[in-house]
A and B are shown apart, each in its own frame.
Chain A
Amino acid sequence: MPKNQDVKKVLVIGSGAIVIGQAAEFDYSGTQACLALKEEGIEVILVNNNPATIMTDKTVSDKVYFEPLTVDSVAAIIEKERPDGLLATVGGQTGLNLAMALSDSGVLSTYGVSLLGTNIKSIKQAEDREQFRSLMNVLHEPVPDSDIVYSTDSALAFAAQAGYPLIVRPAYTLGGFGGGIAQDEQTYLTLVTQGLSASPIHQCLVEKSIAGYKEIEYEVMRDANGTCITVCNMENMDPVGVHTGDSIVVAPSQTMTDREYHMLRTASINIIEALGIIGACNVQFALHPETSAYYLIEVNPRVSRSSALASKATGYPIAKIAAKLAIGYTLDELKNPVTGTTFASFEPALDYVVVKIPRWPFDQFQTANRKLGTQMKATGEVMAIERSMEAAFQKAIRSLDIPLDGFRLPALSDMADAELEKLAIEADDRRLFVLFELMIRGKSTEQLHEMTAISPYFLFVLNRIVEEWRKLQSETWNSMTHARLLQAKTLGFSDQQLAKLWSIPVSEVWGQRKSWSLLPAYRVIDTCAAEFRSQTNYLYSTWKGSSDARALNAKKVAVIGSGPIRIGQGIEFDYCCVHSVLALQKLGYEAVMINNNPETVSTDYEIADALYFEPLTAEDILNVLDFEGITQVIVQFGGQTSLNVAAQLEEAGITVLGSSADLLDQMEDRDRFYSFLESAGLPVIPSFTANKAAEVPDYAAKLGYPVLLRPSYVIGGKGMIVLHNEAELTQWLTHTAMEFPVLVDHFITGKEVEADILTDGEHVWVSAVFEHIEGTGVHSGDSISITPPVSLTAQAMEKLTATAEHIARSMKYTGLFNIQFVYEGDQLYVMEINPRASRTVPISSKATDVPLVQLATALMLGTPFNELGIEEQYNGQPQYTVKAPVFSHIKLPGLSPVLSPEMMSTGEVIGQSPDSAVAMQKALDGASQQLAALQGGGTVFITEASLAQIDPQFWKQHGFSFCTEASLPFEQWLKTADKKAYIDLTPDPGANQAAQAAIHRLHVWTRKETVMAFQEHVKAIHGSTKGVLVK
């Protein structure tokens, strides 16, 4: 069936801010979908308020609306733009929910907008558990015993009949938020209560637990003609009970027989056929490990995190093909873009294995509850490809970019066996390493299988790594032969691990390997297991066999990516890497991307000229550079991850474009940084370097409280804390294990301002200047900020610009860097220089129309500054842009939402308008999507001591009333229906109450400036009803 000619203009809904459960994968799928539609000559209108995305670049769609993803704002866009079609299946659950709301409220029918792809009825049938269950009964597809409940009474009635353990799944929540497994009535009641309040329709599914079954997923596609294919299946190493987003996942399945594989494949196809899906769909099953009995767990009628993973695992671009199916094409009409000769109506055959490991935020959030269950907690993930499972696992582990000793997590070595066993049974984010540790301590795979229900196959694989490690330990470096070393490499051991085993420098292992020509081979992902010739540029390394041919003559530059998304290093760096790739191509270079994050645009093999899916360690990178014959790399855009390898790459003779590794160190090492500021004649924040804990109180006393403690080289303010007095300091030092040296800074109370600077060392462009709304002591990633600044005088701005220019000229640096300033009264301090792209780069580029990363890349490769054409591109910032942080506290019970120097937010949104108040209102509206609506007022709980800092009159006028512990105890207030916000403005707010309020989806404000900003927001929305514009 050819394209539907009636569709000329399409509105695409993005997924908004990055939150746990809905992350960069939707930038990848959204970008693919927009480009696929544009390719067909369709005018694409996009609504998405997440600035750090490639999707919202001007080149990806015809028009971008940075507007809140609410029915009101999207209805207004539809009214204005009059699209023919709406594509809502690439914006995650947010997009799907919005489409259902737009349909229910009549907006789509009023404006004659047709929903492209899967229709509303099918979406509802898949999403509404009651409808879904009855359809599955008709199809004879088994679903676990369950009931839909709207109250705790009916939930208890079901429990009486079904018995424990039971799973609670709230309806329509992101990443299964609010659910969990209950072994007993008490836990069950807590989960049901929490789930009912989390679900927008106050509905929960309670079901008989099938924990311990294998969890299997299929990614399925279907066209309007009924042709169905399964792109990929995946097997979770963690049995049912751990959310698939928090599970270690391999593709394809490993322990299923052909009969089981096709039994579930047939079931998947029957289901999407019955639902009438047009596009992509994810189907999750629970498979009994022995009897082959299975249950259906869930169906997602849209592209998902799993479909992004499946696309990267197979090379099959699911979102792109799904967009084409949505406008009428059928699978057999579309070419398989990888082979170029076969068609999209086929199923990829893999001749390698893929391992995905989630990346959790608990290295940073040590107080949060790190137990894994049915509600997702990971912020990101890594993927590794190899031809042996052991090597794939070790590659994935290296890609996590966490402080490990090979496959060992050092913190576990001190734990007692009993404690480790408990951790193996009650999985948390450390389970993989717990398994390794227990194996090292002699636990058999059978024992571990008993404890965890993990398939013996996976335990066997992990144990083989441990056994090899043991064997290597008993051997010596001198006894190594080419063959022996190759065997170790084949099981995934890095040079670093081997060097550590034998206490030799890593350069010795590297050198010996090179002299033996013991290098990895590079194979392509071709979707067909070499059955057909293919022109593909998507590669992975393997220590088995020979390489697929690559052309080696072009002038090439490698861009080092940022790895998994974590707190403080998010999608913005992927945005930057993609722009750098695009710039290189414009400059006539072949761009080679190295990265390991399966969710993102940078790892779409259609972006760079070659994509290497590899860990981002020096060894892995150098092997690629060696194979490609590349001598120049860009490390400025992959966040701290890429900066961290700069020195090693330089040592190996690679040119790190833009700056020397020494300069990077100078900026990152606080001591050297302060000397740099001094030598540049800039005021330096008084500080001392403490080499041990005992020195700290003395220095603090000299500086005067409050003081800021920080380690050198930090991401996202990790380990940073403000201490207000000696008591706090003593408490901190006795309860926290800090790695010394630690910097003790005088804590400045003032206003923070930041900017990204483009320079060639002589010429300087200071891009958008961001004023932080909250004062110092709040991480820049967590503060609301506005550009251009609203409270800086012209004089202050001039001083700032002059300082930035002076720094740029003093640095011997080419490219992009970020400066964090602080004003204490009139005194301007430089707090930090980040010699790399920053979180604000995408926003800055979008607010000014100056593509900072592209220009920085051009400068690094020698384009003269005056040929960049900045003046012509700069739009003069005609609008205010406000950035507001978005938190995922509802997914992370126990995490304190009190703002601090340690970053907590997972994403951000922007609002834009020529009127700063409107921009603020849009940003806060967008950032509050997951939280209690402030329209129409409600109750606010405030700590007694904070009352003096707010304007009660204002809030009362706008329908709010205040509760304090004296008027209504906190616990009771939490039970009230119209609770909206929690305020504690004391210097050291109580984390416990704040965390409880946050988990109830309430606003938590711990800074006066935040309250003031929301006051403006409330003023703006006051009187507006939460209705829909329908004429």
Chain B
Amino acid sequence: MAGLLSLSNGESFKGKWHGKTSGIQGEIVFYTGMTGYEEVLTDPSYQGQIIVFSYPLIGQYGIQADHVQSGKIQAAGVVVAELYDGPVEKGAMTLSEFAENAQIPIISGVDTRSVIQTVREFGTMPAYMGPGFSVPAFWKPLKTDFFSNSMPEEDIRVIGNGDIHIGLIDLQYKSSILDELLKRNCKVSIIPHTLPTAKLDALQLDGLLFSNGPGDPAALTPLFPTYRDWAERYPTFGICLGHQVLASAFGAKTTKLAYGHRGANHPVINVETKRVSMSSQNHSYVVEDASIEETPLSVLYQNVNDGSIEGLKHPELPVLTVQFHPEAAPGPAEHLQLFDQFLSTIQQKKKVTIHA
């Protein structure tokens, strides 16, 4: 069946429609990594977004249960040049089956390079994808707040039974972040992001990890003072939205990039060692450069291409935040050692506490 991808600037692209019978709207974004569609589609940070893959062949290795980053496809829709429909490895599911089960539509056969060029020139924008040649009756405003409606306090889940007890502040985390902690022998408590401080303190945590998540960090503004308080009292690590939220908690401002960074090849430089490394990225918002002066934080990582802030640290406190994804999945794994660094800070602090 034919399908159509329409952008709010008036451009539209033809393709072949797979899945749900009704159209959907979302924010159009593109991902430039050549592998990793399993992880991207299931990453909660992509909620509400229609993902265009720049790599033209998607689906060759199917979907494997242990690669997904959450229980389901999080993206609103998927746009590809060619959807592979051949045999996949034993035990894997094909991408089209996976999407069909999740009721997430795919549009294939699209001139994705042209779509990306449009997004690059005009920025991310509302988009609609639907069967036939249907077009949206009206443009819904883009959803930027994925938290305000989900405030009820949840149970604290505890996973693992290691020596170090980490509170993973759940801004809708990717499972690989949890996995990296578990691999390093941590006990992890999944902390609802609205948990009252008293309850948090009662857990006797050794450190906090603010997770990634979807949307605009400003949606969490009411919680910033609480988060600052936590970060000042616990060794803290922030990833992606977690980084933006912590920076904001310490007084920085965030803005939205024209079309974000989504890929597996974003070079970041550690301003202390001058080493450049590739990072996995997926974000629209960034911490504003100038606003760092208003905070106690200093820049640790910068993006080599556009100079934007990629990581911050606190001069005295054990607080480290990164805009990129050290847990990889998808993307380069060379920042995994940041998890080790975080945990060794905690271990040192524990030793000091014991000896004191």
Interface of chain A residues 495 through 530 with chain B (CB within 8 A): 523, 528-530
Binding-face segment, B28-36, B137-145, B234-242, B309-317: B28-36
Tell me whether B57 and A256 are in contact (CB under 8 A): no
A347 at the interface (CB under 8 A from B): yes
**A257 in contact with B334 given A290-B90, A332-B276, A351-B113 (CB within 8 Å):** no
Q: Please, how many angstroms separate the alpha-carbon atoms of A531 and B54 in the complex?
A: 9
0 or 1 for each of B268-295: is its CB under 8 Å from A? (1 = yes): 0100001111100000000000000000
The answer, among B56, B67, B120, B277, for a CB contact under 8 Å with A351, is: B56
Tell me whether A345 and B267 are in contact (CB under 8 A): yes
Chain B residues with Cβ below 8 Å from A345 are 267, 269, 276, 304
Tell me whether A227 and B56 are in contact (CB under 8 A): no
Binding-face segment, A261-269, A304-312, A405-413, A973-981: A261-269
B60 at the interface (CB under 8 A from A): yes
**A258 in contact with B56 given A331-B276, A460-B87 (CB within 8 Å):** no
A484 at the interface (CB under 8 A from B): no
**A258 in contact with B305 given A349-B265, A545-B114 (CB within 8 Å):** no
The answer, among B90, B113, B265, B333, for a CB contact under 8 Å with A346, is: B265
Tell me whether A530 and B329 are in contact (CB under 8 A): no
Chain A residues with Cβ below 8 Å from B120 are 530-533
Tell me whether B265 and A343 are in contact (CB under 8 A): no
**A531 in contact with B116 given A256-B35, A258-B35, A343-B304 (CB within 8 Å):** yes
Q: Which residue of B lies closest to A259 (CB)?
A: B67
Chain A residues with Cβ below 8 Å from B117 are 530
Q: Which residue of A lies closest to B121 (CB)?
A: A533
The answer, among A256, A258, A330, for a CB contact under 8 Å with B33, is: A258
Interface of chain A residues 317 through 370 with chain B (CB within 8 A): 330-332, 341-343, 345-353
A226 at the interface (CB under 8 A from B): yes
Interface of chain B residues 303 through 356 with chain A (CB within 8 A): 304-305, 328-334
Q: Which residue of B lies closest to A339 (CB)?
A: B305
Chain B residues with Cβ below 8 Å from A351 are 32, 54-56, 112-113, 116
A280 CB, min distance to chain B CBs, angstroms: 16
Q: Which residue of A lies closest to B34 (CB)?
A: A252
B70 at the interface (CB under 8 A from A): no
Number of contacts between A and B (CB, 8 Å)? 155
Tell me whether B332 and A254 are in contact (CB under 8 A): no
Q: Please, how many angstroms separate the alpha-carbon atoms of A529 and B34 in the complex?
A: 10
**A349 in contact with B57 given A257-B64, A544-B81 (CB within 8 Å):** no
The answer, among B33, B82, B267, B269, for a CB contact under 8 Å with A349, is: B33
Tell me whether B267 and A346 are in contact (CB under 8 A): yes
Interface of chain B residues 107 through 131 with chain A (CB within 8 A): 109, 111-114, 116-117, 120
B61 at the interface (CB under 8 A from A): yes
Q: Please, how many angstroms separate the alpha-carbon atoms of A342 and B269 in the complex?
A: 13
The prevalent SS among residues of A at the interface is loop
Tell me whether B267 and A332 are in contact (CB under 8 A): yes
Q: Please, how many angstroms separate the alpha-carbon atoms of A353 and B82 in the complex?
A: 12
Chain B residues with Cβ below 8 Å from A265 are 332-333
Tell me whether B304 and A266 are in contact (CB under 8 A): no
Chain B residues with Cβ below 8 Å from A457 are 60, 86-87
B105 at the interface (CB under 8 A from A): no
**A332 in contact with B305 given A258-B329, A265-B333 (CB within 8 Å):** no
Chain B residues with Cβ below 8 Å from A227 are 275-277
**A332 in contact with B57 given A227-B276, A266-B334, A347-B278 (CB within 8 Å):** no
Tell me whether A349 and B34 are in contact (CB under 8 A): yes
**A332 in contact with B55 given A227-B275, A266-B334, A351-B112 (CB within 8 Å):** no
A791 at the interface (CB under 8 A from B): no
A479 at the interface (CB under 8 A from B): no
Q: Please, how many angstroms separate the alpha-carbon atoms of A255 and B55 in the complex?
A: 14
Chain B residues with Cβ below 8 Å from A461 are 86
Q: Please, how many angstroms separate the alpha-carbon atoms of A570 and B30 in the complex?
A: 43
0 or 1 for each of B64-99: is its CB under 8 Å from A? (1 = yes): 100100000000000001100011011000000000
Chain A residues with Cβ below 8 Å from B266 are 346
Residues of B within 8 A of A (CB): 30, 32-36, 38-39, 54-57, 60-61, 64, 67, 81-82, 86-87, 89-90, 109, 111-114, 116-117, 120, 263-267, 269, 274-278, 304-305, 328-334
12 contacts between A and B (CB under 8 A): A257-B64, A258-B331, A347-B332, A349-B54, A349-B263, A351-B32, A351-B54, A351-B55, A353-B56, A457-B60, A532-B120, A546-B111
Told that A262-B331, A290-B90, A353-B56 touch, could you supply 15 new A-B pairs with CB distance under 8 A?
Answer: A252-B35, A256-B61, A258-B33, A262-B333, A266-B332, A332-B276, A345-B267, A351-B32, A351-B116, A353-B57, A389-B57, A457-B86, A461-B86, A530-B116, A545-B81
The 9 closest A-B pairs by CB, nearest first: A545-B111, A460-B86, A258-B36, A529-B54, A347-B265, A258-B35, A258-B330, A345-B276, A349-B32
